[in-house]
Structure 1
């Protein structure tokens, strides 16, 4: 059960963590160079691996998901020519990070859509690496990583993937995609508090030293010690909370959890369409509707958002050029069907009262 909150939380992270996760934050802090933390860290790595869908090195940074993204990008993009799919806010962020370290070719599409196969294939003829956001929460589009990774592999292009808002709610397939590295988040579908950034490295070839704090070779060396540790002082309470969140994920079962996210997102989209609300996303041939966040077009979205909040429902507005144009409702982590039913009920009441 989510911890006590006055709202049903539909924002696309941070989600409302379960009570057991929040309780873990108040447990005594272990010594971060001792056996207790070593066992905690090892357990977290074991629990994360199946969520990544690969047998690479799992490393855990203290910092936002963006820290993990930059740690991955800075080491593998430095002085390289790379392509980035840019069709939303987080594709833009990935592009901006990559541009600090290498030469970037933007594969752009209108927000809410995806590039065509032809556009992607053309862009990959000029680069060594492709960067992709698996699940674009700013628009409600999930990229078809099977198709995209096949195109990349056919051209010998390496793949770096942002799985921040998909891991724990949508199947991530590091092995199947041939991904070189993936950067994740814990505050979305995993259901933990923010501040922890897991990264999986499938292959280290070509990794160059990154900024001091973000240099993943330091994390690999520290994690490889007999007593597993991090190179810098970790956020100990957040590690404890993350372990509890991961245990809850596995107790539900990954297949059942992924199916629940798919089913509930479909219920939300169907309910919106039944009341005449238009969905924003138009995914195209390299995407589909996201299983973790739904975007929809509505008159005066900010007023509607505020009215829903008064009724105990918290949704998010649009970002960037979509601010004031759409609303977004995330069905992540512990959102259940009854929560979606409450959202649809209150939204219909708000629309009929305006």
Structure 2
């Protein structure tokens, strides 16, 4: 590590740390010394994800249970403050987005081109492993350069804060197959669902119908490309959509049931929203008799590069998804707003 890197990196940073359920604190944490292949990133924005909300409210996200304090956050963008001393990665001053996954070897088999479903993947801001993997809701972070993607100069960092969740949506559309000229139904129009709508529009869907329980998400979905919206309680309208492709983004068994009912015979249903653990009541007979293809979609891999390109050339329009910004010191207010789908879309933390 060069002496320039040592001199420019702060010894400690302000960060949002989850200690337990309902125990979230903004506090000073030490900034570790970078390895030769690591850079120091000055964070500009961090997007609040559903997993961050689960750690805040429940002390766990699914089976990932907090067992020690952990810095939250994996949707982060910023600028390289100190580049890696080995010369890898972007130069100082380069705007970057962070790919939050780290890939390691795993004894569990998986397709070589789909490391996102390997057993050896870890994610920023995750309690799946012990010690936990610290996240990026801090004013500076140290990360391997292989996790960094340089951003084109015309792409605003505020917009770039949506690259990670937009990559989840882009991956889901890739799992759906070619949507050009097709009728697409999106169940659940929260931030991920809205980004699925935006990605479907960018990929050439002819008709995009969005469904949600609340008016605010449906207004956002319309702003990013939905041609029609339906309130979730209207089962007849949903069933009448007769969509070629359905993307279930609610993560709710009732949403999955709606997805099955709204798919045309021989259609495809992509399950994007993470369903609760355990057995779920789903009308699977509908999938059998209609010969529906049920496809899972989990995180993403290299789709992040396509998303950066689509945002830069304007073909992927996502700005209406962002509804609020808060300073790090106002994190509790930000989390509360993000928890209310009637009041917000994507909520960003802004770092000094």
TM-score range, shorter chain: 0.3 to 0.5
TM-score computed with the length of structure 1 as normaliser? 0.36
Structure 1 or 2: larger helix share?
A: 1
Q: Relative contact order (alpha carbons < 8 A, sep ≥ 6): 1 or 2 greater?
A: 1
Q: Kindly indicate which of the two structures has a greater share of residues assigned to strand.
A: 2
TM-score using structure 2 length: 0.36
